[in-house]
Chain A
Amino acid sequence: MTWVTLFLYAGATALSAIGVVFGKDRLLGRSVLVAAVGLAAQVASLGFRWVRVGHGPYLGFYEVSAALVLFVVATFVYAAWRQPRLASAGIGVMPVALLLLGGAMLAQGTEVPMTGKLTSFWLAIHVIFANLAFGAFVISFGLAIAYIVRERSSSGAWAKRFEKLPAQDALENLTVRYVLVGFFFWGIMIITGAIWANEAWGRYWGWDPVETWSLIVWIIYAVYLHLHYTLRWHGQRLAWVAILAMPLSLFTLVGIPAVFDTTHAGIGGLGKDL
């Protein structure tokens, strides 16, 4: 089932790439449809796994990454359904989903059991908001990429290919919007995480690398928002900040255990268990 998902996401990525490069609007619509079917397949695949391992997709590298991919694609499909003109942003979004799912599948076999430390109502809230925030950040990333490609196309050829997208200023506002939504969800993730840490470990903040990095990402996006709202940054340089910040949020969510020792190994678990 995961292979079916991967195949469909690859299809959606290819369709959106062809749609954009050759300026075929119909293919863009199809790419969203294929992504939606892939999404259904992924929901089924993660659902089966949930039943088999007895807990939701939040333990170990595969589950965490797959859940992130699920939320990224779901956010994208939702955005493109609400505003079909956003479909071409898929060219920035779907490759992220595809690569992350592909990477996650390398670790598909690892199953991390549920432990007493994790058994908490806060876990669900904490994890859902982490996923939602990442979904929003990836959409802002995709929109910022579309913005820059269009802006840099001196001949206007690329501008034509992204014709359906909203005008540049509206596209920029949308990027800010998604950053803001992501920032909000990330804030919920941090605060619920702090409450949960207090329940589980007896401290709400301990400067563990995962905690610290989640704060770093929050600060970076706060800087982005201030650059826009208070220092009136616009255009490409603002878009670049959104593009560069997203990989840091991904690193925080799945990459930390590979680099640092953390009590949070459950969240990323690259080669670690709890």
Chain B
Amino acid sequence: MRRIVRFLASPRLAAALLLFIGAWVTIATFVPQSITSPGEIAAWDAANPALATVVNAVGLHDAFTAPAFIVPSLLLALCTAVCAWQRTGVARRRARVLREVSAAGLANDFALAELSIPVASDVENDEAYRRVVATLRELGIPGSRVGDRVVSVSPWWTVWGTAIFHWALVALIVLMALGSLARASGQMGVAVGQTRPDQPESYGELTAGPLYRWASNDRSIRVDDFHLDYMAGGISRGPTPTVAVLDGDGEVLESRIVYPNHILRHGSLSIYPVDYGLSAEIAMLDDQGAEIQRTVQLLDFDGTSPDGTAPVSEIGLYGSNGQVLNRLIVSVPLDSVPEGFLGRIPKDPSAHVVVADLTGAVLLDEVLRPGEEAALPLGGSLRLLGVDYYARLQIVDDPTITLLYIAGAIALVGLGIATLARQMIFTAGILTESEARIMAVRMRLWRIHTTSKSEIESELRRALGATEGSA
């Protein structure tokens, strides 16, 4: 056990791990990553066949989830925890010394004096103290005269920065790892007026960690309104939906217009808009004209399709034996083919309805206006109820984010203390030893960056000497 701890606390190991992780991450930025540019991987592999073998073998296309990254990171977390433990011990010892110095009322500091600097005979005591204070100040250290001493003693908390910082780093790494196991994040398309349960089947794209519990998610997401170009604070916010989160009884828990930097939050859930498209609401009718079912067909803008929109997914039409026999393909013909975000509902909206069999032969091809119906080849008919927008929402449920923010804030406070607060003891007083006077200095510099022990000593010698005189 001892040996393991000693191994983990080794400064060399920490530096090596940091270097390795730094190097790995650097190389990863030059290789296409499956999370940021999945489309480029195949082309890159083809262009660099020799490198591709190595890259695929070590998992560099998935650099940030590969074992070669995760294992050293977790090991670093472990090392950092061991070091944080050690820094805690160091901080406690230093804090005790600081307390003792204040408690002792500086009584015993002559006995502990590390430096004895002669004071020139033509320099009065008051003048000597003044010069010590001035010299310290010139070196960036605030010191002050207290009775017959010059003192600069840091408060107790200044020694805790490093320990706090390293503990917070451990917490950050652990929380990030935990977050990837406990988080669900995905995209869900919701048409205006539609409500979808917050369950995996509602999502298009979804990643959920093994610890995420869907069963406890008794809520649904509704889009109540949509602005193609919402203005707030004089700035265009782009396509902007109004989103509501409902509980199991359909009560609104939270509702908000969402756009970048203005997201909906409910507990650990956050909702952002990613994209938008159109939706066509369709009712299926039986031979008597009674409604059997309603579906909302989501449509994305698609410059390659003749109508300018294409369904996110096709709808299967079932025969009486329960098997899919036909495919229903719905699109909305646009007034003009959209470019980027300009796609909008046509002035006179309609839906283009195509039914094809499984071989691709077209059985029906009609354009319907809201309220119009078309008879389906397998019997029954469908009716277009309306055309509207749909919002593609990014929905993230991550219980670790608040904790991450807290750990981040603590890390910064710790680092701020380690960076900005001095950790030192300096006391100086004049002793008279058979005629000669000396300035007895006790000095502990645990962390001091604007000067050094030897510089303080040489500057004090200069200041208190007679020849060069003034400080």
Contacts and interface: CB of A to CB of B under 8 A. Distances in A.
B370 to A, nearest CB: 32
Interface residues on B, range: 35 or more
Interface string B445-456: 000111110110
A82 interface: yes
B221 to A, nearest CB: 14
Interface stretch (B117-125, B257-265, B279-287): B257-265
Contacts, number: 132
A243 interface: no
Interface stretch (B21-29, B46-54, B319-327, B374-382): B21-29
Given A191-B408, A230-B11, A220 B449 contact: no
A176 B448 CA distance: 10
B401 A198 contact: yes
B105 interface: no
Interface of A is mostly: helix
A177 interface: yes
Contacts of A122: 261
Interface stretch (A56-64, A151-159, A182-190): A182-190
Contact of B455 (A82, A169, A188): A169
B15 A187 contact: no
A114 interface: yes
Given A83-B450, A261-B37, A216 B419 contact: no
A237 to B, nearest CB: 13
Nearest to B21: A219
Contacts of A119: 233, 235, 261
A200 B272 CA distance: 8
Contacts of B420: 181, 184
A116 B238 contact: yes
A259 to B, nearest CB: 9
Contacts of A32: none
Interface stretch (B144-152, B410-418, B436-444): B410-418
A248 B420 CA distance: 24
A167 B260 CA distance: 52
Nearest to B274: A202
Interface string B391-430: 0001010000100110011011001101110000000000
A117 B260 contact: yes
Interface of A: 82-83, 114-117, 119-120, 122, 166-167, 169-170, 173-174, 176-177, 180-181, 183-184, 187-188, 191, 194-196, 198-209, 212-213, 215-216, 219-220, 222-223, 226-227, 230-231, 260-261
Interface of B: 11-12, 14-15, 18-19, 21-22, 25-26, 28-29, 33, 35-37, 63-64, 138, 140, 176, 185, 232-233, 235-238, 259-261, 263, 270, 272, 274, 394, 396, 401, 404-405, 408-409, 411-412, 415-416, 418-420, 448-452, 454-455, 458
Closest 10 CB pairs between A and B? A177-B449, A230-B11, A202-B272, A219-B22, A116-B237, A202-B394, A184-B419, A170-B455, A120-B261, A169-B452
